[in-house]
Amino acid sequence: RQCSSETYLLHAAVQEVVHSLQPVLSKMPQFVHVLDRMVEPERVIIFRVPWVDDKGEAHVNRGFRVQFNQALGPYKGGLRFHPSVNLSVMKFLAFEQTLKNSLSSLSLGGAKGGSDFDPKGKSENEIVRFCQSFMEELYRHIGPNQAPIFDTPLGDIGVGPREIGYLFGQYRRLTSQYEGMLGAKGVQWGPSNLRPEATGYGVVFYAKEVLADLYKDLKGLRCVVSGAGKVATCVLEKLITFGAIAVTISDSRGYLLDDEGFDYGKLALLRNIKIHNKSLRDYTKSYPRAKYFNDSKPWSVKCDVAFPCATQNELNHADAMALVNAGCQVVIEGANMPCTSEAIEVFRQSKIVFGPGKAANAGGVAIQGLEMLQNTHRVQWTPEDVDNKLQETMKDIYQKSLKAANDFGIVKSNPEALVHGANIAGFLQVAQAMLEQGCV
Ligand code: NDP
CATH number at residue 213: 3.40.50.720
Q: Residue 17: inside a domain, yes or no?
A: no
Are 241 and 176 part of one and the same domain?
A: no
Are 112 and 259 part of one and the same domain?
A: no
Specify whether the backbone of 251 is left (phi greater than 0), alpha (psi in -120 to 50) or beta.
beta
**365 CA closest ligand 1 atom index:** 42
pLDDT per residue over 323-334, tens digit each? 999 999 999 999
Nearest CA to ligand 1 atom 18: 252
Better-scored residue on pLDDT, 85 or 8: 85
Ligand 1 within 6 A of CB of 190 = no
> Which entry of 91, 112, 238, 358 is annotated as an active-site residue?
112
112 noted as active-site residue: yes
Is pLDDT above 90 for 183? Answer: no
Decide: helix, strand or coil at residue 1. Answer: coil
Are 228 and 335 part of one and the same domain?
A: yes
103: domain CATH number?
3.40.50.10860
Q: What is the 228 CA–ligand 1 centroid distance (Å)? A: 7
Are 252 and 332 part of one and the same domain?
A: yes
Q: What is the 341 CA–ligand 1 centroid distance (Å)? A: 20
End position of a domain, from candidates 163, 191, 219: 191
Are 104 and 236 part of one and the same domain?
A: no
Q: pTM of the prediction? A: 0.93
> Which residues span the domain enclosing 316?
196-360
**Cα separations in angstroms, 102 against 99, 186, 205:** 5, 27, 19
End position of a domain, from candidates 191, 217, 234: 191
Are 149 and 207 part of one and the same domain?
A: no
**So what's the pLDDT on residue 148?**
47
Is pLDDT above 50 for 349? Answer: yes
- Give how many domains the chain has, as a whole number: 2
Q: Residue 398: inside a domain, yes or no?
A: no
Q: Residue 404: inside a domain, yes or no?
A: no
Ligand 1 within 6 A of CB of 310 = yes
Are 84 and 171 part of one and the same domain?
A: yes
Q: Residue 414: inside a domain, yes or no?
A: no
Q: Residue 50: inside a domain, yes or no?
A: yes
Nearest CA to ligand 1 atom 35: 335
pLDDT per residue over 112-122, tens digit each? 999 999 999 99
pLDDT per residue over 147-180, tens digit each? 444 566 667 999 988 898 899 899 989 988 876 5
Are 175 and 212 part of one and the same domain?
A: no
**So what's the pLDDT on residue 185?**
43
Ligand 1 within 6 A of CB of 336 = yes
Are 92 and 132 part of one and the same domain?
A: yes
Nearest CA to ligand 1 atom 17: 252
Q: How confident is the model at residue 182 (pLDDT cuts 50, 70, 90)?
A: low
**So what's the pLDDT on residue 77?**
87
Side-chain-side CA neighbours of 229 within 13 Å: the count stands at 19
Q: Residue 407: inside a domain, yes or no?
A: no
Q: Is 377 exposed, middle or buried (0-12, 13-18, 19+ CB in 10 A)?
A: exposed
Q: What is the 34 CA–ligand 1 centroid distance (Å)? A: 32
